[in-house]
Amino acid sequence: MTRAEAEPPAATFLRDHNVMASNMLRWIIALALGFAAASVAGCVAGTTEVPNTGPLATYRAGGGGMDALLEGTLELQGACIVVAASYGIEVVPVFPAGEATWDGNSLSWRDKVYQPGDSIAVGGGGPNDNTISSEHYIPDDCGSLERWLVAPR
């Protein structure tokens, strides 16, 4: 007696169905992992071109950021965007490339629009050799003002 003759038709159907379901599950997992990898690659390699003109200082973010808080008034000094901190120091906020824009009149950042004279608060911290990438842009008009790396999303 062969195996096919020994197994009732329902058992054969269930065995074949389980094999097919197992193969489908493997394909679904493989596709999901492929999409996840492509999404992560897109986040890392997305639109993070560091511009080289304009008053907005930017850097290529590499991951997490510091979490100190800078609060003050947004100002445009020549061709340099600064935050006049409440403690009397002017600081250049250096934004992660692709997260903020300047349209000539206003700063757009994290779904808000700021004009010179508006209050602004940004998380981040003072840069050192380990926290700013070699790919950054600081407008010439910012001179030697203190920098503040704005934490990326």
Q: Could you report the per-residue pLDDT of 10-30, keeping only the tens digit for each?
A: 555 555 555 555 555 454 554
The CATH number covering residue 72 comes to 2.40.50
Those residues with Cβ within 8 angstroms of residue 68's Cβ, 6 or more apart along the chain or in another chain: 123, 124, 125, 126
With a cut of 80, say whether residue 115 has pLDDT above it: yes
Residues 84, 20 share a domain:
no
Is residue 126 domain-resident? yes
Which range has the top average pLDDT, 73-82, 87-96, 122-131, 137-146? 73-82
**Mean pLDDT value across residues 114-136:** 82
Q: Structurally, how many domains does the chain consist of?
A: 2
Q: What is the pTM of this model?
A: 0.66
Residues 70, 13 share a domain:
no
Is residue 30 domain-resident? yes
Those residues with Cβ within 8 angstroms of residue 8's Cβ, 6 or more apart along the chain or in another chain: none
Cα(60)–Cα(51) distance, integer angstroms? 10
Residues 138, 90 share a domain:
yes
Residues 117, 80 share a domain:
yes
For residue 134, give its domain range: 57-150
| Model confidence band, residue 84 (pLDDT cutoffs 50, 70, 90) | very high
